[in-house]
Each structure stands twice: as C-alpha cells, then as structure tokens.
Amino acid sequence: MKKSFFAVVLLGLAFGVVANVQTETESLYKEHCSSCHGVERLGGMGPALLPENLSRLRKSKALSVIANGRAATQMPAFEAVLSAEQIAALVEHVYTKPKHKPEWSDQDIEASQIVNFKPKELPAKPVFDADMMNLFLVVELGDHHVTLLNGDTFEPIHRFKSRFALHGGPKYSPDGRFVYFASRDGWITKYDIYNLKVVAEVRAGINTRNLAVSSDGKSVMVANYLPNNLVLFDAESLDLMNVYPVINASGQTSRVSAVYNAPPRNTFIAALKDVKEVWEIPYRSSDTTLTTGNRVAEVRTIEVNDYLDDFFFDPDYKLLIGASRDASGGQVVDLDQGKVTSSIPLPGMPHLGSGITWEYQDKQVLATPNLKEGKVSVIDMSNWEVIKEIQTEGPGFFMRSHEKSPYAWVDVFFGPNKEAVHVIDKSTLEIVKTLRPSPGKTAAHVEFTKDGSKVLLSIWDMDGEVIVYDATTLKEEKRLPMVKPSGKYNVWNKTQYERGTSH
Ligand code: DHE
C-alpha cells in the first residue's frame, strides 16, 4: 500500500517536471519564435515548424540553425540569447506533433471566400488617368500596404492595406486590369486596378508560397507548404475549382516550392520541395466541376535528380533550370522530353528564382546571384558552362535587367555591404558602378519602367524609400518615402514576360 502510494507520488512529480519543462519550452517558443513562425507553429513571416515540414532538416542542423541563423532567410542567430539546453529543448519542441493537426479543407477554403464585387459589377474604365501599362505596384512590407505608382511621373496614385506579409510577386491578369496577391498565411486577394478596389479574397491554405495566373486569364493556381497541395481558383470570382494534393506514387507528400504559368505550353508548372518531381498541370476550364475523386489524374509528373527549392525557365519554357538549396549544382529539365538533360556546376546557393537571361556575344546566357557567396554566375545556355563568376561585395538576392538596357543590376542583400548595389555591363560582364544610395540601409530589388529608361530601387527600411534612377546615366532622379518597400512590379514587364524580370 505504502509502496504504491510513493510510486504514485513519484510519478506525479515526474509528470510535474515534464509538464514544467514543456511549459518553459512553450514560453521560450512564444517569446523568441512565435512572432515569425506563428503561435501554433503554422508559419507567418517564417515557415511552419512542424515535423512534416522539417523532414529534410536533421535535428543536428536544426540546432545549428537556431544557434547561428540560416543563410538566405531572415532567421537570426540565438546563440547569444539562449543556452544550449534551451536551444535543444526548442528543437525537440518543433519536431513534436502539434496538439491539433493543421487542416484546411475544401470547405474551409470555400467558407473563407469574401466577394466584395460580383464579376463585371465594376466598370471596365480606369478611375484615374495614366498609362495603364506603365504602372508599378510597390509592396510595402513594413506596414503591410501596397502603393500604386504612375510609371511616367512617379507620383503615387493610391495606397491600400494588404493582407499580412505578402510574399512573392503579385501576378497581373493578361490585360493588366486585375492583380492577384498571395500572403504567407494563405490569403489570395484579387484587386481591380481600374477601380482601386479589392474585388474578392479567399484563403487558399495555411502557409502559402506563391501564385500563378494562366495566360488566358481564367484561372489562378496557388502553391502551398501547408497543406501539401496546389489549389486552383476561377480567376474571375476566386471560386474554388480544384485541389491537387501533392503526393507521389509511394505516398510521400510534399511542400510545393513554387508554381509558375508557362505561357507557350498553356500549363502551370510546379517544383516540389520534399519529392524529386516537377509537376505540369494543363489549364482547365471553369465549367469543369470539382471532383473529390482522383484529383491528380491530370498531372504530368517528371522525375528529377534532386529536390527543387529554386528554379526558373528559359524564355521558351522548354527548359526548367533548378537547384536544391543544399546541392553543389543545378539541373536542367527538358520539359518536352520529360527528363533531366544536363547539370550545371553552381556551387554555394544559386538564387535561380532571380535568374535572368540575355544575349552575350551571340550566345544566350543566364545569370544568377548567389545567396551564400558574393558572386554572380554567368552561364552559357548552349552548353551550360560557367562563362564568368562576377565577384560582388556579398551574397545577392535579386537581379534585374530590361531588353532595352545595357545593364543588369544585382543587390548585396546580406552582410556588411548590404547598402551596395552593383551595375553590370551586359556586354563585358564587368561591374561598371556600385551605388550606395543610403549608407547603412539595405538597398535591394530593382524594376525597370516599361521602356527600360528608368530603374526603381528599394531601400528596405521602416524609414525607407523607392529611388528612381536614369537607366543609362545611372544618375539618381527622385526619392519616394515608403515603409520598407520590398518588390516593385511593372504591369508591362510582367504581362509581357520581359526577359530581364521575374515571372
Ligand atoms: Fe522570397 C519571390 C522563395 C525569403 C522577398 N521568394 C520569391 C519566390 C519564391 C521565393 C519561390 C517566387 C514567387 C513568385 O514571385 O511567384 N523567399 C523564398 C524562400 O524560399 C526564402 C529564401 C525563404 C522563405 O522565407 O520563404 C525567401 N523572400 C524571402 C525574404 O526573406 C524576402 C527578402 C522578404 C520577404 O518578403 O519575406 C523575400 N521573395 C521576395 C520578393 C519576391 C520573392 C520581394 C518577389 C520578387 C520578384 O521581383 O518577383
């Protein structure tokens, strides 16, 4: 009797200790991690921290990420703030299954839909006067707003509140009237530029990557990390059209790295993060009813040699050039042949998503910044040999040019020289100028005007600016105050799939 009484007390104490450690770790998580990764670990500015999302990250590596930060992300180092035991406890915490399985069903998607205006309810005539093809949208990350900018006068036309933490490029309808935004927490917003109004919104997932709009302007495909799926919407109403669970033949599910529209192919192409496959999905008309049966039947899968965290396409959309963040090289996937046909020697962490192409000495070249090393790799696309590695003052994130510009611009996003932006002569592959427009503040991401005559650069600061340069003389012309402006998106360059910009 006595023995069993003590056993119960000991067990109770042990549970108490475990519960205490758990509560301590939960408070640590709340204090240091939740503002970026979400209170429930479902993601926010940072990715979701759940066992299924961490399948490619060993626990030893997770320890080092928390201690030392993570290259190419906003993840800071916690070594000076947390003890080794606290870091280890946090690692265990994020690899523990959550109390409630995160789910976002078809019904959740449909219930989230907000329709402010029915299709065709708003007039098809702009309520302001400007060249509608030379407008810019500037995403202001600092206070979650978007500014619509006149691309001739550089006067702001309108500023409106966005969803929390927009990420990736907003995508325009082919005529440039509507734009679709995706937020990291899954909200898709359709905005009518002519009428300066939000038309409709829908929450596609819990943790979203990006979206793509079909060339016929009829559908929008959304790539998610959580749930592991692709979600298709009718572009007019944001009505749900289909959900494609991302799963391979062996039953392994995967996050989607990103999805893009491939105009000449009339398909959407997605690369996967946890399964070595590329998915190609043909456009689908909105009158096809949603089926709950085998939804992946219409997907063409292409096996690849490695995961694809980062990728882009050649101008004809015949080739996909991609790389895994941990690999020592990239791979070239021939989309017609449906297989990997070449490899590219690209050490470090090439940021192929920011890759651009141009003609150099009668050759087509691709140039990509590197998220780990201060260099831009220039590659001959006929034989995939590296022609030149241009040394920069630190790892870069975004690279840009324009068909009509002799220059390509690349930022120095990370490290002590983050205030610098390099201008590269596309015909000599030499840096011709390094700009330092706001000492001490990150200068990053440029976008050209429709005719390529001006360049807009962001100063990523709460007290930030968009700076306008003459694209030929490289002289500064104007500064527009903005709240941590990140990406800028020109209607013409985006809708025409201009080679020097992201798609
Ligand atoms: Fe991005 C685009 C992935 C971190 C700002 N980023 C993209 C795209 C992908 C991507 C796949 C292309 C989507 C599109 O346009 O359709 N980004 C990733 C990452 O995997 C990474 C490294 C880690 C993560 O947190 O997800 C990452 N990105 C960041 C940032 O930390 C940045 C600098 C600040 C932020 O907003 O979170 C950032 N990413 C951007 C921007 C674009 C982008 C501004 C659009 C660029 C463009 O001109 O099209």
Ligand 1 site residues (CB inside 6 A) read: 72-74, 141, 167-169, 209-210, 257-258, 353, 397, 445, 486-487, 502
Instruction: Determine the distance from the C-alpha atom of residue 160 to the mean position of all C-alpha atoms in its chain, rounded to a whole number.
Output: 21
Expressed in angstroms and rounded, the spacing between residue 99 Cα and the centre of ligand 1 is 30
Return the residue whose CA atom lies nearest to atom 49 of ligand 1. Answer: 169
Of 36, 167, 326, best ligand 1 pocket probe by most atoms within 8 Å of the beta carbon: 167
Nearest atom within ligand 1 for CA of residue 72 = 22
The predicted structure's pLDDT at residue 333: 97
pLDDT of residue 409: 98
Helix (H, G, I), strand (E, B) or coil at 329: coil
Cβ neighbours, 10 Å, residue 97: 9
Of the candidates 138, 351, 369, 171, the residue with the CA atom closest to the CA atom of residue 257? 351
pTM of the model: 0.91
Q: Ligand 1: which atom is nearest the Cα of residue 167?
A: 36
Distance 9 CA to ligand 1 centre (A): 53
Supply the pLDDT for residue 2. Answer: 56
Query: Of all atoms in ligand 1, which is nearest to the CA of residue 211?
Result: 16
Q: What pLDDT does 294 receive?
A: 45
- In the reported structure, the alpha carbon of residue 168 is separated from the centroid of ligand 1 by a whole-number distance in angstroms of 5
Q: Which atom of ligand 1 is nearest to the CA of 212?
A: 16
Question: Would you say the CATH fold of 392-503 matches that of 5-94?
Answer: no
5-94 to CATH, choices 1.10.10.10, 3.40.50.300, 1.20.1440.230, 1.10.760.10: 1.10.760.10
In order along the chain (503 residues), what is the average pLDDT of each group of 10 residues? Answer: 57 60 88 92 87 86 93 87 94 90 94 96 98 98 98 98 96 98 97 98 97 97 96 96 94 96 96 96 67 62 95 95 86 97 89 94 95 95 95 97 97 96 98 98 98 98 98 98 98 94 84
Residue 414 alpha carbon to ligand 1 centre in Å: 14
Considering only CA atoms, which residue is closest to atom 10 of ligand 1?
168
Residue 172 near residue 150 (C-beta atoms within 8 A):
no
Alpha carbon of 166 to ligand 1 centroid (Å): 9
Q: Give the domain ranges of the chain.
A: 5-94, 392-503
Query: 355: closest CA among 308, 402, 414, 398?
Result: 398
Measured from the Cα of 413, ligand 1's closest atom is 33
* 167 CA → ligand 1 middle, Å: 6
Q: How far is CA 489 from CA 179, 293, 361, 418, 450, in A?
A: 10, 39, 29, 22, 10
Identify the pLDDT of residue 6. 61
Q: Return all residues near 433 (Cβ < 8 A) that are at least 6 apart.
A: 422, 423, 474
Pick the CATH number of 392-503 from 4.10.490.10, 2.50.20.10, 3.90.1170.50, 2.130.10.10: 2.130.10.10
**Predicted local confidence at residue 98, as pLDDT:** 87
Compute, in degrees rounded to 10, the torsion defined by CA atoms 281, 284, 286, 287: -130
Specify whether the CB–CB gap between 376 and 386 falls below 8 A. no
Pick the atom of ligand 1 nearest to 397's CA.
33
Classify the C-alpha dihedral 321-357-221-206 as positive or negative: positive
| Nearest atom, ligand 1, residue 309 CA | 20
Taking the centre of ligand 1 as the mean of its atom positions, its distance from the CA of residue 72, in whole angstroms, is 10
274 neighbors 254 (Cβ within 8 angstroms): yes
How far from each other are the two terminal CA atoms of the chain, in whole angstroms? 74
Among protein residues, the one whose CA lies closest to atom 7 of ligand 1: 168
